[in-house]
Copies of this chain bind each other. A is one copy, B any other.
Amino acid sequence: MTSRKSQSAKPDETPPKAVISRLSLYLRELQHLVRNGQQTTSSSGLGQRLGFSDAQVRKDLAYFGQFGHPGIGYRCEELIPVIRGILGTDRGWPVAMVGAGNLGRALLGYKGFARQGFRIVAVFDIDSATIGRVIEGVQVYHFDDLEKVVAAEGIKIAMIVVPATAAQGVADRLVAAGLEGILNFAPVTIALPESVNTVGVDLAIELEQLTFSVVKRRRG
């Protein structure tokens, strides 16, 4: 990234992961601006609350095209669908969840997923006390029904919310069932074939960002 100059990125280059994760943040900021009645913004306006420079914002968006208007900046309502299109959230995604334990149930009630187009349509477990129940409006199936339900619902994305020891076995089964993306909440790194995308969620990272700021302020 350091050797590449601002504006020189071509739309057909594959952007680094970090750019994609900043796109999500830009999207949230744009959604926030729209809720507050703001119609346009600038590279510096978009980066400011997020702690990114205007040059960074411009460079990130330049991977995908030219979106600013001279004398106006970015039109929020225009840029939001562009970013959703890039991220693939311009359509709805049915999502499967494996594991109906405490964290799984809590995530079923998490409002942030549906707001961005993710709908959990099936939960899988192996606990007979849970199978057949409906939690937060979502049916719990036996894990053995995975392939059948995934095919019927056209599910391509799944969340793993099982204990660390069970995560790899679940992941292998998901891959065999044709899943293309896996979000892993289990506190363990899972190995997957190249053809399947995986993201691990580590909630402690957010706390670390906080302690850095707290410690810096004390030192500072």
Contact = CB atoms under 8 A, between A and B. Distances in A.
A21 B51 CA distance: 12
B107 A105 contact: no
A16 B21 CA distance: 15
A52 B17 contact: yes
Contacts of A53: 1-2, 16
A116 B210 CA distance: 13
Interface string A155-183: 01100000010000000000000001111
A198 B206 CA distance: 10
A119 to B, nearest CB: 11
Contact of A157 (B22, B103, B199, B214): B214
Nearest to A111: B187
A106 B208 CA distance: 19
Size class of the contact patch on chain A: 35 or more
A87 interface: yes
Contact of A87 (B51, B197, B211): B211
A55 B212 contact: no
Contacts of A22: 18
A102 B109 contact: yes
A72 interface: no
Interface of A: 1-3, 5-6, 14, 16-18, 20-25, 27-28, 32, 50-53, 55-56, 59, 86-89, 93, 95, 101-103, 105-107, 109-113, 115-116, 118, 156-157, 164, 180-183, 187, 189, 195, 197-199, 201-217
